[in-house]
Amino acid sequence: MSTSLSPRWSGDRAMGMAAARQLRIGVVGAGGIAHSHLSAWQRLGATVRVWSVDGRGAEVGARYGAGFADDLADLIDGSDVVDVCTPTWTHPEIVHAAAAAGRHVICEKPLALTHGSAEGMIAACTDAGVQLHPAQVVRYFGEYAAAERLVRAGRIGTPAVLRLSRRSAAPVAAWFADPTLSGGIMVDQMIHDFDYARWIAGEVDCAYARTVPGLRGALTAFVVLRHSSGALSHLVGAWAGPDEVFATSFSLAGSAGLLRHSSAASTAVTWTGVTDARAGEVIPGGTTQRSPFDEELAEFAAAVAGGPAPRVSASDGLAALDIALAAVRSAELGRPVEVGEVAQ
């Protein structure tokens, strides 16, 4: 049985789409992730405007049928929901401004660069009576969502050893390479898998991490997490050369079975039971018909409209950040670091 800490979203997809069509969305930013959000909002039928500090809001928004705002204040004033798709170090200021204006917020991961900043963002939204949704989109990828459902249904028994990997070309934008701006590979990239490991195996007590530099700015990080349940998670993240093909994989082993997936091999999830005759069963349909960004933003829209809470919460976003920060500190100090240390 899964030790997931967040309730499963039980709303109907149509509810999210209907909610999105009633909302005015203000997207802040015009970089890569903004394109993913804008195309999803377009498919969901929302009314959208864009603003970006680099002046590209009108150009990028026009590609997706979105309008543009003259400045951040104008965008916030004319929105029901502010969708923050900007570099990490800018998140707190934008979220605080949106909360002060009484606007609900969607914020790309990671929420912030420090525990205190992220905690302050959550408090500001709580005090203002608005919702804050962290865009931990991997929970919405079909294979990952299917595996979580199977874990929850008891197909692997008690989670024991999780292995997750994520490889991509190093980001082109220079700010990613500066840990004071992005947090580095463990805060920016591996936070996806930290969040997923916690979703599957429960709270994380401790992180032990090492980083290995490569040629031309490449970097690989290795992290072991100890969960309160006794489970262990082994994670690898890599920012590699420009020809690197994006690839992810996971294996989730428990007392009763094993779930595996590799994006390089297929879109399916394979289940092998310890004693079940169906050993080696391929679970079809790991990838849904819709984009994971559609799934994510539809859930958030439904929640804003008074529907059920989505599968990921602001507290989940903070917990994932704390795991990442503990891993960073471990790599710096050369010793295991308790997750609670970064929250002090």
Kindly list the structural domains of the chain, giving each domain's residue range(s) and its CATH number in brackets, ordered by start. Answer: 13-137 (3.40.50.720), 138-290+311-343 (3.30.360.10)
Residue 278 pLDDT > 70: no
Segment 259-265 long-range contacts (CB within 8 Å, at least 24 positions apart): 259/147, 259/150, 259/151, 259/155, 259/156, 261/143, 261/144, 261/147, 261/286, 263/143
Write down the pLDDT at residue 3: 41
pLDDT exceeds 70 at position 314: yes
- Report the pLDDT value the prediction gives residue 1, as an integer from 0 to 100: 34
Mean pLDDT of 269-273: 91
pLDDT in tens, 171-202: 999 999 999 999 999 999 999 999 999 999 99
Question: Residue ranges of the alpha helices (H) in the chain?
Answer: 13-21, 32-44, 57-62, 72-77, 91-100, 115-128, 142-152, 179-182, 185-188, 191-201, 292-304, 314-333
The average pLDDT across 260-288 equals 78
Averaged pLDDT, 90-113: 98
pLDDT digits (tens, 9 = 90+) for 29-41: 999 999 999 999 9
Percentage above 70 pLDDT, the chain: 93
Q: Of 208 and 275, which is predicted with more confidence?
A: 208
Report d(CA 103, CA 95) in Å as an integer.
9
pTM: 0.94
